[in-house]
């Protein structure tokens, strides 16, 4: 993933916060804050500067040490120093700082004076009226803290890509433990929800296996919450909670179904069982006291007269009825994808050249890739004007002349301007194979204005794909204010397609809107928005999202062959 200047600034600010809690030299603290400000206000991308081997020490307030750290963040997305600092401070204390009004200085005072290290401690002290007496706090602050704590904040959920990385790690680890046979992560992770709350792991093993001991000794364990014979709960240092349940082989399928959920789906299946005189739970399918099935998940569905329902569909949103009537969708798979229709190069904010991006797409067996660099409005990324794009088109013609069995599609990610016009003239858009059109500015327009803007853009005959249609960033930025149902209708009327942006930070369209688009007859495109050759790998997240929206191969344009696709996109 591309590291943005704001990411670097955020990390430096965090380092400053933690140094402050640790009572380090105030000059050091200030150096990090200044560096954060410098990087945050740079007009050039630090990622690009690293690529071009620019000297950061020429920037105000950046010495050799900080320059090295910027490079580390750009290359790894992280700063080892920050991790070291986080290891030295109770994680709860770091969370306290996120409460409005509690900066590092105040958190430190609370820790030093009242030994507050958790939200519970904080609540108790505030309720006991201990905080208002501390120097620099006062009654107002104490009230504000109580109000904030009373708001019952929802825990931030984990993005699917992070969950996947953690899940793969622990599954591989447990599989190596002697005597263990099956290990699988169930729950919303298996249903491929865009975010998950925790990881529910199921395992089967031979008698005497030390799998529970191994589990609580897993690397990065912050806390062992519970450990029994067949069940244990740990919290990793990153704050992610994991449950492990060891189940007998005879119950494995029933347990897998039960712990995959969702709750609503399980209730519906159980109710069907009751109607047929069966009891269904995590131990199996029972007739009276006798277990008649449970080893395999398919058996559970079988006994209530349902065909197998893919985990992504198990939300009690009509999948039970569809399974009864033999009308379940034949969900799209990763193998159906023939090309990526959203990819950037180094010419704007990507990391690799046109040739590298094309080569990597070919190497993964694709038939085509659309190169969609930014348009000129995004001046920070050095976006394309018409003249540069014409030159780019010539380059692509030359490349296509050399390639056999692979097409590079001429394209652009063109900005939708505030008045609904596109950022490049029709005369050049006409020359492209397709356009990918995006909102990258003015997120805060009132709904009516935002809708008019987007629909007006769709009126343009050269508008093909509406990219990341809601503009949301998961856990970071809410969608802009639009009526997605109306936009989907507008897209249908104008023959525009909608993107399912596969980037795990976006997953935009949302699952319900994928389904609505499909039901409305709007074609979808699943693209990664690749900013480097590795980003093509993100395709699976988009496919999962589409599967949650009941999407089939036929609903998606980039499952077509290059010839079919070009025919569909043919300019009038």
Q: Are strands 497-501 and 158-159 parallel, antiparallel or unpaired?
A: unpaired
Q: Of residues 43-72, which lie at the interface with Zn ion (CB under 5 A)?
A: none
Beta carbon nearer to Zn ion, 505 or 529: 529
**How many beta carbons lie within 10 A of that of residue 55, not counting itself?**
9
Beta carbon nearer to Zn ion, 106 or 506: 506
Interface residue with Zn ion, options 438, 464, 527, 532 (CB under 5 A): 438
Q: What is the size of the binding site for Zn ion (CB under 5 A)? A: 3
435 touching Zn ion, by CB under 5 A: no
Beta carbon nearer to Zn ion, 511 or 529: 529
Beta carbon nearer to Zn ion, 413 or 505: 413
Distance set, CA 245 to CA 140, 213, 219 (Å)? 47, 13, 19
Helix (H) or strand (E) holding 73: helix 64-76
**Are residues 91 and 237 in contact, defined by beta-carbon separation less than 8 angstroms?**
yes
Beta carbon nearer to Zn ion, 372 or 559: 372
**Are residues 424 and 412 in contact, defined by beta-carbon separation less than 8 angstroms?**
yes
Q: Give the C-alpha separation, 325 to 213, whole Å.
A: 46
Beta carbon nearer to Zn ion, 503 or 523: 503
Shortest CB 451 distance to Zn ion, Å: 19
Shortest CB 427 distance to Zn ion, Å: 23
| Options 303-311, 417-425, 432-440, 483-491: segment touching Zn ion (CB under 5 A) | 432-440
Binding map of Zn ion across residues 20-39, x = CB under 5 A, - = no contact: --------------------
Q: Give the C-alpha separation, 279 to 273, whole Å.
A: 6
Shortest CB 361 distance to Zn ion, Å: 15
Residue 119 tokens read as 């939200």
Beta carbon nearer to Zn ion, 251 or 381: 381
Q: Which residue has the tokens 């190169």?
A: 371
Handedness of CA 394, 398, 401, 404 (dihedral sign): negative
Question: Read out DSSP for 114-141?
Answer: H---SHHHHHHHHHTT-STTSTTTHHHH
8-43 CB burial, b ≥16 within 10 A, e <16: bbebbbbbbbbbbbeeeeeeebebbbbbbebbeebe
Interface residue with Zn ion, options 164, 312, 373, 413 (CB under 5 A): 413
Shortest CB 528 distance to Zn ion, Å: 9
SS3 for 54-70 is CCHHHCCCCCHHHHHHH
Binding map of Zn ion across residues 514-543, x = CB under 5 A, - = no contact: ---------------x--------------
Beta carbon nearer to Zn ion, 261 or 504: 504
Alpha helix positions (H), 460-525:
484-494, 511-520
Shortest CB 378 distance to Zn ion, Å: 9
Beta carbon nearer to Zn ion, 17 or 535: 535
**Are residues 92 and 119 in contact, defined by beta-carbon separation less than 8 angstroms?**
yes
Residue 36 tokens read as 């954060």
Binding map of Zn ion across residues 282-311, x = CB under 5 A, - = no contact: ------------------------------
Q: Which residues would be at the binding site for Zn ion (CB under 5 A)?
A: 413, 438, 529
């Amino acid at each position: 993933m591309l590291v943005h200047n704001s990411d670097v600034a955020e990390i430096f600010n965090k380092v400053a916060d933690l140094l402050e809690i640790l009572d380090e030299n105030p000059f050091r603290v200030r150096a990090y804050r200044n560096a954060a400000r410098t990087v945050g206000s740079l007009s050039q991308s630090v990622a690009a500067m690293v690529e071009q081997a620019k000297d950061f020490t020429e920037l105000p307030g950046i010495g050799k040490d900080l320059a090295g750290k910027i490079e580390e963040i750009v290359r790894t997305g992280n700063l080892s120093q920050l991790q070291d600092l986080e290891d030295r401070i109770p994680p709860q204390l770091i969370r306290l700082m996120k409460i409005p009004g509690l900066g590092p200085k105040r958190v430190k005072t609370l820790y030093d004076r009242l030994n507050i290290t958790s939200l519970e401690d904080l609540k108790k002290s505030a309720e006991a009226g201990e905080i208002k007496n501390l120097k620099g706090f006062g009654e107002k602050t104490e009230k504000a803290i109580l109000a904030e704590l009373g708001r019952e904040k929802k825990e931030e959920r984990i993005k699917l890509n992070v969950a996947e990385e953690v899940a793969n790690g622990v599954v591989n680890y447990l599989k190596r433990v002697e005597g263990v046979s099956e290990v699988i992560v169930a729950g919303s992770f298996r249903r491929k929800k865009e975010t998950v709350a925790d990881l529910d792991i199921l395992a089967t093993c031979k008698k005497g296996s030390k799998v529970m001991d191994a589990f609580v000794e897993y690397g990065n364990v912050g806390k062992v919450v519970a450990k029994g014979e067949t069940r244990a709960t740990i919290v990793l240092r990153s704050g992610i909670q994991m449950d492990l349940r060891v189940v007998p082989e005879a119950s494995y399928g029933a347990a897998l179904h039960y712990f995959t959920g969702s709750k609503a789906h399980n209730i519906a299946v159980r109710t069907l069982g009751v109607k047929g005189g069966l009891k269904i739970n995590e131990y199996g399918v029972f007739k009276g006291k006798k277990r008649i099935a449970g080893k395999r998940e398919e058996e559970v569905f079988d006994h209530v007269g349902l065909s197998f329902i893919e985990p992504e569909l198990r939300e009690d949103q009509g999948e039970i009825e569809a399974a009864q009537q033999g009308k379940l969708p034949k969900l799209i798979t990763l193998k159906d994808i023939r090309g990526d229709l959203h990819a950037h190069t180094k010419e704007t904010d990507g990391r690799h050249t046109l040739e590298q991006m094309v080569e990597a797409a070919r190497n993964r067996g694709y038939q085509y890739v659309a190169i969609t660099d930014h348009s000129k409005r995004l001046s920070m990324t050095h976006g394309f004007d018409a003249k540069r794009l014409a030159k780019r088109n010539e380059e692509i013609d030359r490349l296509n002349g050399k390639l056999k069995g692979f097409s590079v599609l001429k394209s652009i990610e063109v900005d939708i301007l505030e008045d609904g016009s596109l950022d490049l003239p029709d005369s050049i858009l006409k020359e492209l194979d397709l356009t990918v059109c995006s909102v990258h500015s003015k997120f805060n327009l009132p709904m009516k204005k935002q809708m008019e803007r987007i629909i007006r853009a769709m009126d343009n005959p050269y508008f093909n794909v509406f990219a990341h249609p809601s503009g949301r960033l998961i856990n970071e930025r809410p969608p802009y204010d639009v009526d997605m149902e109306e936009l989907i209708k507008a897209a249908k009327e104008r023959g525009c397609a909608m993107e399912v942006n596969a980037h795990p930070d976006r997953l935009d369209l949302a699952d319900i809107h994928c389904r609505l688009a499909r039901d409305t007859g709007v074609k979808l495109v699943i693209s990664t928005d690749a900013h480097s050759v590795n980003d093509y790998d993100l395709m699976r997240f988009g496919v999962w999202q589409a599967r949650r929206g009941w999407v089939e191969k036929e609903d998606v344009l980039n499952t077509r062959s290059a010839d079919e696709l070009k025919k569909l996109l043919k300019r009038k």
